[in-house]
Each structure stands twice: as C-alpha cells, then as structure tokens.
Amino acid sequence: MKKTLFVALISSFGLYASAQSLDMGLRGGPASTWLFNTNVFNAGSDQDVSSSISSEFGAHFELNFLGGTGIELDVIYSKYTQKYKGSFIDSGGLYQNTMSDLPNNYYQRNESYTSSTELTLIKLPLLFHYQTKTGFSIEVGPEYCIVNDAVYSATYSGQPILMPSAVSFDSKSQFNSSSFNAVLGFGWNVKLIPSGKLYLLTDLRFEYGITDLKGTDALGENLDNSGTNPVYLAHSYRGYSSYAGTHMLDASFSIGLFYRLNLVPGVHSFM
C-alpha cells in the first residue's frame, strides 16, 4: 500500500512538473437524472418513471499540457433525483408493504401516488481533456461517486382509511455507498478578456453508472428482492422474479468561470 501511494505521489509530481498551466474555478447547472432499473421500468402502471431535473455545483481544476491536452478533476456536489408516479388498477383489496422501512403501508384499487428518491452525492470525475485552438473541448474518463444520503418520499391519493396521505424515510441503507461511472463531455471555453486569464466554461456532460447502485423502487421497496412468495407476486410491485441492478444515468449542462495560471514563465496556452 505504501509503495502504491509513493508511486501515485511521484506520478502526480511528474504531471505537475510537465504541465504548462493550471485552471481553477467553479461550475454548476441543471441535470436530467435517472435511476435505471429494468424491473422498475417494466413494472407497468404501478410504477411509471417520471422525468427528473436535479442540480449540481462544485470546483473545477485542470492541468494543461502542450498540444491542447489536459487532465481535469472536478469536485461536484449533486442533488440527484428520480421521480415516479403510479396507480393500482389491476385488482382490488388491501396489500401490506412489509418490505419497506415503513410497515403497515397499504395500497388499494384506484389509489394513485407520486414519489421520489433524492440522493445527495459527491462526484469526483478524473477526465482526459482535449481542447482545440477555437476553444471547443472533449473530455472522457472515469468518475467516482459517493452516496452521502438518500431519502424516499411519497404522496398518495385515494388511499385506504387511516392510512397516511404522505410518507418519507431515510433509504440510504438500501443503496451502495458509491458508484463508478463513465463520463463523456463536450464543451467550449471562452476567454472573457483578450489580455486576461479569466475564462467562461460551458459543458454538456453524459454519465453512466458502470456499477450497481441498488436502492429502492417507486414504492420504497428494497430492490434487492427476488422472493417467490405468491403473496408478494400478486402485484408487479410485490417482489421481482429476478434481480436487476440499478445504474445512474444523467445528462448535465454546466456553466462556470475559471482562472488560468501559467506554470511555465514565458509560455502561454494557445487560447
């Protein structure tokens, strides 16, 4: 372990020593976010996935080398949301939601609901960055994503007598603590003052979770539920015939400002 840290430290110093400039700034903007799970997406009217808009902001750092290449590291705080809606029209009666953190929660025919899962994330993308002389850029690489918190909430309409009209609970224990994502982005950097070093950053970025995030479905049920009890299989939301992983999927647009610090005297970037 010590040897690995030593090699990483030496490599970092080597990269810094060969860099021509360092960018430092802030970025943020909206994102279209999805928690993609095939069991939920195939559940029918009991669980309909709704379009969700989230927000993120954070710090931007980049080491620039000759030829327009660079290594970019961002530290991004994200409120990652997935919204759902549904109605129970396939049969009547009352059904106990015994697999969630809220026992004795019931559903009946013609009842409808809206719900959401909101994750609080710290994203750490480490990207290879290439920029043309016109300012257009492309970036690609891995991202390590840390799950700090998760909350499930729902509001019901037409619910059974004595059942709550809304619920909310901490669902972090149902999620994995982190995810590894793949990132692809396209952007444009514009120098704001011709003789200065302040730049405007715009960026369209796509991310996909390579690893399983697990979590809960539209009804707050633990998705790690492949039981075969016929009682649980009476509805599409009561148990799943096989396990399906959950993967993050989002598209974000960021805008920001950064300052470019020259590291080599007398050498300037081509922007």
Each residue of 179-223: pLDDT tens digit?
999 999 999 999 998 878 999 999 999 999 999 999 999 988 888
More reliable by pLDDT, 88 or 133: 133
Q: 128 versus 42: which is more confidently predicted? A: 128
Domain CATH code at residue 130: 2.40.160.20
271 located within any domain? no
Phi and psi dihedrals of 258, rounded to 5? -145, 155
- Judge whether 226 and 245 are in contact, CB under 8 Å: no
Q: How many domains does the chain have?
A: 1
How would residue 14 be classed by pLDDT, with cut points 50, 70 and 90? very low
Task: Look at residue 268 and tell me if it is in a domain.
Answer: no
- Decide if 269 is inside a domain: no
Q: What is the pTM of this model?
A: 0.82
pLDDT for residue 44:
81
198: in domain: yes
- Residue 52 sits at φ, ψ, to 5 deg, of -130, 135
> Is 87 part of a structural domain of the chain?
yes
Judge residue 82's burial from the number of C-beta atoms within 10 Å of its C-beta, 0-12 exposed, 13-18 middle, 19 or more buried.
buried
Q: Cα–Cα distance between 103 and 181 in angstroms, integer?
A: 34
Whether residue 270 lies inside any domain: the answer is no
Residue 236 pLDDT more than 90? no
Residue located via tokens 């195939």: 42
Q: What is the domain extent for residue 215?
A: 2-262
Instruction: Give a yes or no: residue 112 inside a domain.
Output: yes
d(CA 24, CA 2): 30
The predicted structure's pLDDT at residue 115: 95
pLDDT, position 262: 87
226 vs 74, residue with greater confidence: 74
Q: What is the CA radius of gyration of the chain?
A: 23
Q: Residue 213 is which amino acid?
A: L
In a domain, 229, yes or no: yes
Q: What is the pLDDT of residue 43?
A: 83
* pLDDT per position as a tens digit, 239-260: 677 889 999 999 999 999 999 9
CA dist 135 and 167 (Å) reads: 49
Q: What's the pLDDT band for 6 if we cut at 50, 70, 90? A: very low
pLDDT at residue 208 in the model = 98
Task: Dump pLDDT digits (tens) for 142-154.
Answer: 999 999 999 999 9
